[in-house]
Amino acid sequence: MLQLEGARLVCPTSGWDALGDLRIADGKIVALGPSGSLGPLGPDFRRVDCRGLTVVPGFVELGAVFGEPGAPWREDLLTGQRAAAAGGFVRVMISPRT
């Protein structure tokens, strides 16, 4: 379980865009609020200093162009997936032009 502290938290759905803390347990957000407002941590939580970082929902790419099929020396499906994940993308739709 984690507590991300001091991050810029952005949620396009709710309009939330502020510095704050975020608690995650069992892969789910269990609490969020302004920095220092979440109260004491349980013994199972690990603090992560996120000052200067931004926490946003995962991004979705609707028109990625991978090298495979046809140009796997440039990028194949595995390397394209890894690059997308490193950039915060949770879904990638490959363009039919590929």
Which of 46, 51, 43, 41 lies closest to 20, judged by CA?
51
- Cα–Cα distance between 32 and 4 in angstroms, integer? 9
In this predicted model, what pLDDT tens digit does every residue of 42-82 receive, in sequence order? 888 899 999 999 999 889 999 898 888 788 888 888 999 99
Which superfamily, per CATH, for 2-55?
Urease, subunit C, domain 1 (2.30.40.10)
- Domain locations in the chain as residue ranges: 2-55, 59-94
Local confidence band at 98 (pLDDT 50, 70, 90 cut-offs): low
Structure-block tokens of residue 83: 């690059």
Local confidence band at 96 (pLDDT 50, 70, 90 cut-offs): confident
The pLDDT, as a whole number, for residue 71 is 84
Indicate the pairing of strand 54-55 with strand 46-49.
Answer: unpaired
DSSP letter at 38 equals: S
The pLDDT, as a whole number, for residue 73 is 85
- Cα–Cα distance between 34 and 38 in angstroms, integer? 8
